[in-house]
Structure 1
């Protein structure tokens, strides 16, 4: 199994610039020790430097064609700088829609989807659809994926709200207002870069240790799915599991068989058990800053 700590190379660089705002605020707070005047001077210094770099960035953007600007906007760090200085080529609605498109494959693995219902006064209104709304364990990881993607694309938004969808007859659905509160009531998890996931080919299964958590990853066609490495039936590791297609099912069907107890889980649809109750614990996997990354919820890592 590979070991990934999320603290080397590109992952470290990504963590550094994402935390830059917190570091700047900490430095400004320390300036307050010298009194109000000292803090004002520090804030003015930050503004002057930001304005200088902003003016230079505006000139650079003015020299580029649309294709080059689009490439710049595709980089998380550069996109954030373009947003700060009002130079991003896309409005907030376009950016939020693109963010939702980026997580749809993951939502689809839960048999669900998400739609943008509007953005007003900085509040993004979303509606979840499909079976993902009725799965409590999926709700936490879905929130991690959706909120992280939306806030990265549109940092200027102030809140994300989930509007209620009509439940199917007889179904048990998570209340819309509680979907996002499930994670907010506990510590947020962390996105960890796992470049080794790129090495998994179609039909292959691999085990990794991510931030001290054992995970199982598999690729079905072009799609990558990641689960916590723990059988929902017997509690043992799924190490050694292989992908199988069920007899009579179409191409694209894929189940994981627990080597210990023989329980079968649908690898494509949230790890649902196909020969009993329960399901594997899915973990979001997205491309962040150009690298495949896995979200490890705090209660799992802890």
Structure 2
């Protein structure tokens, strides 16, 4: 790993190390834990005050934009409430960033408004016919919005076809219970190396995932054919159609992995998004059978 990459990943994991140190202090008793938490609070307040002065001294809009665009600096500005972009702009930009992924699955999202800590979104597109695809899209949008605007209280999604408000917590319950297992994001920088038309397998967490690149888009699916339940390892990609090496079923990877021709079912989509500048996948904690 290059020195710059190591330094970047080192700071991105600082929060986890701080939490681990606080937890270690707790083993020495409540007094030690209280002192450790007070120390962290004092340091955070000190750097917050310094950052506030820095941003107040910046009179160049381009420089303020550059600072806010940096993942590490931008996250600290958010923590201290001094980010130069308001919540509406940040959410709008987050949706612009995730929109290409939604489009790759035939979906789209529109910001309806933000009021009283609630972000209201409208989902639309052909992906609505595939429940597993809809869940992955909701997961991707939820993550993008909450990363850009951690101060929001909740997100509500409105299905454009029926125009009824559905709390995202309710929608996301399908990810966290029943057929949909809990989901975790994993950084997979190797995805950047995929060439157009290339198919490759990845072990993400303990889950086997098949990824491919169609044009500029990197698309990923659980490595299981819904037709024969076998691994898709060795699958070939022709245009946007992925062919199972075992049963020869064909699936359109650009349209949520839907079966084409006489092939039925859907491959199970796996969200692929740039998180903190690194392509990442959201995979379930346990494998789930592909959609029939």
Q: What residue is the counterpart of 2:258 in the other structure?
A: 272
Which residue of 192, 200, 210 corresponds with 1:206? Answer: 200
Distance 1:64 1:71 in 2: 13
Q: What residue is the counterpart of 1:290 in the other structure?
A: 277
SS in 1 for 2:41: helix
Q: What residue is the counterpart of 2:173 in the other structure?
A: 181
* Residue deviations 1:11-32 (CA, integer Å, cap 9, x gap): 9637624546855875797787
Distance 2:131 2:275 in 1: 25
RCO higher in 1 or 2 (8 Å CA, sep ≥ 6)?
1
Q: CA deviation at 1:43?
A: 5.2
Which residue of 224, 230, 235 corresponds with 2:224? Answer: 230
Q: What residue is the counterpart of 2:13 in the other structure?
A: 16
SS in 2 for 1:161: strand
Q: What residue is the counterpart of 1:156 in the other structure?
A: 151
Which residue of 41, 54, 71 corresponds with 1:60? Answer: 54
TM-score normalised by structure 2 residue count: 0.83
Conserved? CA contact 1:14–1:289, under 8 Å: no
Q: CA deviation at 1:260?
A: 0.8
Residues 10, 133 of structure 1: alpha-carbon distance in 2 compared, 3 angstrom cutoff: farther
Which residue of 228, 233, 237 corresponds with 1:239? Answer: 233
Conserved? CA contact 1:257–1:263, under 8 Å: yes
Superposed counterparts of 1:133-144, under 5 Å: 133-144=128-139
* Residue deviations 1:241-280 (CA, integer Å, cap 9, x gap): 22214xxxxxxxx101111111010011111000232011
Structure 1 consecutive aligned stretches of length 4 or more whose deviation exceeds 6 Å: 27-32
Q: CA deviation at 1:238?
A: 1.3
Conserved? CA contact 2:106–2:125, under 8 Å: yes
Any gaps of 5 or more consecutive residues in structure 1? 1-7, 169-173, 246-253
* Residue deviations 1:24-83 (CA, integer Å, cap 9, x gap): 875797787239xx84x6555443322211122233332473333323322333212101
Which residue of 260, 272, 297 corresponds with 2:246? Answer: 260
Distance 2:260 2:272 in 1: 23
Distance 2:242 2:138 in 1: 25
Distance 2:144 2:99 in 1: 11
SS in 2 for 1:180: helix
Q: What residue is the counterpart of 2:104 in the other structure?
A: 109
In angstroms, what is the RMSD of aligned CA positions? Answer: 2.9
Distance 2:108 2:14 in 1: 31
Residues 190, 257 of structure 1: alpha-carbon distance in 2 compared, 3 angstrom cutoff: same
SS in 2 for 1:299: coil
Q: CA deviation at 1:223?
A: 0.9
Residues 274, 187 of structure 1: alpha-carbon distance in 2 compared, 3 angstrom cutoff: closer
Q: CA deviation at 1:288?
A: 1.2
Residues 10, 225 of structure 1: alpha-carbon distance in 2 compared, 3 angstrom cutoff: farther
SS in 2 for 1:300: coil
Q: Report the more deviating stretch, 184-193 or 80-89.
A: 184-193
Conserved? CA contact 1:76–1:152, under 8 Å: no
* Residue deviations 1:140-184 (CA, integer Å, cap 9, x gap): 32232111111110000011111242349xxxxx99344223224
TM-score normalised by structure 1 residue count: 0.81
